[in-house]
Amino acid sequence: MKAAVFKGAGQPLVVEDRPDPAPAERQLVVAVDYCGICGTDLHSTRDGPAMLPCESVLGHEFVGEVVELGQNLVTPWEKGDRVCALPFISCGKCEACVGGRPFECLEVGCIGLDQPGGFAEYVTTSEFNTLKLPDQLTTRDAALIEPLAVGLHAVRVGGLRAGQRVLITGAGPIGLAVALWARFMGARDVVVSEPADNRRALALSMGATAVVGVGETLSEQFADVTGGPPDVLFECVGAPGLIQQCIEIAPRRAMLVPVGVCEQPDTILPFPALIKELAIQFAIAYTRDDYETVISMLAQGRIDASPMVTGVVSLEDMPAAFEALRTPSDQCKVLTRLRA
């Protein structure tokens, strides 16, 4: 099969031939239709503690069709089933796996990180982390299930309630997904802080009720458009200093949800958070129920995340598109299309 292979920091991915995967027990092989490029992919191919070994195949936002069945399957899978999967190869037996939280499995491997990923013609999944797509859901829309599940999970763990005022920092795919769900859950105001014009426009098309800039006046900008302070703040950038900025903006007893991936030391001053009795609730990944909810809402046409997709490229063109995402541009979510 063809796969886009990581060759080291500073070098573009290389499309080359790899052996077709064979499914182990309780695994499926999926022919990939689409696989989205994620910020995590860019992070893990950059020099630093999270960098993957050379020869890794990335891609965890994949959808496709079952083409090979492993032994001892519990679910009656059939070749041709259209599927997506939580990108985890996990044990399938522990409490976390059985409870639909494979991210917490002690034996977990991540597809597209330490396990072969979806920037390839075929990918292997655990059957118990694989979900069938309903007929009403197009394969292309299904390619957004993973980032939408990240956003839903953050909104859920943040305990967002209808009528609350929400501030989201950053209008990348995750900030946009959080905006979509905050709107869906009935937030009174969904305000996205973002400097780039194209991303501000995207935020408005994905559910934001207003967009504001960044910097020291953020608190005043928020109050100007909403008439009050934010009840829930989602930090979706992951750059040092932003958690502290959210702490300073937050009113008493607000909820702060850091969702952005920050891999550098980040100093915070706890005192203002203490004085205000802030709740700080980190959010990572998703559960099986998050995936099922996203699938159901997409299939029913109750959410539309398609504005987020700003590009679709072939596997051959993907390495160049991947490198281009390292510098700010008009792109947001770029999908790799593996099959016509």
Among 32, 97, 298, 305, binds Zn ion (CB under 5 A): 97
- Point out the catalytic residue in the list 40, 45, 124, 169: 40
Question: Taking contact as CB under 5 A, which single stretch among the options 33-41, 48-56, 229-237, 322-330 is the one that binds Zn ion?
Answer: 33-41
**How far from chain centre, in Å, is Cα 47?**
22
Is 85 an interacting residue with respect to Zn ion (CB under 5 A)? no
Strand partners, 15: 4
Q: Terminal CA-to-CA distance of the chain, rounded, Å?
A: 16
Tokens of 222: 């928020």
Among 105, 174, 246, 315, binds Zn ion (CB under 5 A): 105
Q: Whole-angstrom Cα distance, residue 177 to residue 183?
A: 10
- 219, exposed or middle or buried, with CB in 10 Å at 0-12, 13-18, 19+? middle
Choice between 214 and 324, CB closer to Zn ion: 324
Look up tokens 């709107």; give the residue.
183
Is 91 an interacting residue with respect to Zn ion (CB under 5 A)? yes
Tokens of 335: 């999908």
Is 211 an interacting residue with respect to Zn ion (CB under 5 A)? no
Tokens of 114: 């330490």
Question: Taking contact as CB under 5 A, which single stretch among the options 19-27, 87-95, 120-128, 319-327 is the one that binds Zn ion?
Answer: 87-95
Residue 153 a catalytic site member:
no
Minimum distance from residue 100 beta carbon to Zn ion (Å) = 11
For residues 37 and 58, the answer to whether their CB atoms sit within 8 Å is no
φ and ψ of 81, to 5 deg: -60, 130
Is 232 an interacting residue with respect to Zn ion (CB under 5 A)? no
Q: How many helices (H) and strands (E) does the chain have?
A: 11, 17
Question: Taking contact as CB under 5 A, which single stretch among the options 104-112, 115-123, 127-135, 225-233 is the one that binds Zn ion?
Answer: 104-112
Question: Taking contact as CB under 5 A, which single stretch among the options 15-23, 27-35, 83-91, 182-190 is the one that binds Zn ion?
Answer: 83-91
φ and ψ of 101, to 5 deg: -120, 60
Is 94 an interacting residue with respect to Zn ion (CB under 5 A)? yes
Please choose, from the candidates 198, 146, 133, the residue with its C-alpha nearest in 3D space to the C-alpha of residue 172. Answer: 198
Is 38 an interacting residue with respect to Zn ion (CB under 5 A)? yes
Minimum distance from residue 181 beta carbon to Zn ion (Å) = 16
Choice between 94 and 204, CB closer to Zn ion: 94
Choice between 52 and 191, CB closer to Zn ion: 52
For residues 332 and 144, the answer to whether their CB atoms sit within 8 Å is no
Question: Taking contact as CB under 5 A, which single stretch among the options 22-30, 32-40, 209-217, 289-297 is the one that binds Zn ion?
Answer: 32-40
Look up tokens 């292309």; give the residue.
140
Q: Which of residues 143-172 bind Zn ion (CB under 5 A)?
A: none
Kindly determine how many residues on this chain lie close enough to bind Zn ion according to the rule CB under 5 A: 6
Is 261 an interacting residue with respect to Zn ion (CB under 5 A)? no
Minimum distance from residue 225 beta carbon to Zn ion (Å) = 30
Tokens of 163: 């009528």
Helix runs in 227-287, H state only: 242-249, 270-275
Residue 43 a catalytic site member:
yes
Q: Report the catalytic residues.
A: 40, 43
Q: Which residues would be at the binding site for Zn ion (CB under 5 A)?
A: 38, 90-91, 94, 97, 105
